[in-house]
Structure 1
């Protein structure tokens, strides 16, 4: 899967986000002197909402995006036979 398939962009140090997609995922690269890695979140017209509360690697961030997409797709499914025990 490429970044276009998952809908994420990567902004490297010293660069700016060229455009944003409403609800799109963005990785912002951190300075190495502060630990490196990336901040991951979603962009909206008036907000940036962190997806993870800590810096992450690209591979862990992409895994998080996969899990989030799967959760969003299945969020409307209900099990009528579900019982708490």
Structure 2
């Protein structure tokens, strides 16, 4: 199948650089990247783990430990 895509100049320039480094054409690089993303490879790369039941973990920017004591305090505040 043949189609036309409008690729922004900066993206095309980087694609061509990557293609030269890999010894591929720009089209081959685009196909490989699309296949990688569409097969879930990007989700695995972002999270470091596979997608489970269609969900992926959130990226932790500043992980904080939640204790049972904090949960109990919140329950008391809400009246549960």
TM-score range, shorter chain: 0.3 to 0.5
Structure with the largest fraction of helix: 2
Q: Point out the structure with max Rg over C-alpha.
A: 2
Structure with the largest fraction of strand: 1
Q: Which has the higher contact order (CA 8 A, sep 6+)?
A: 1
| TM-score scaled by length of structure 1 | 0.32
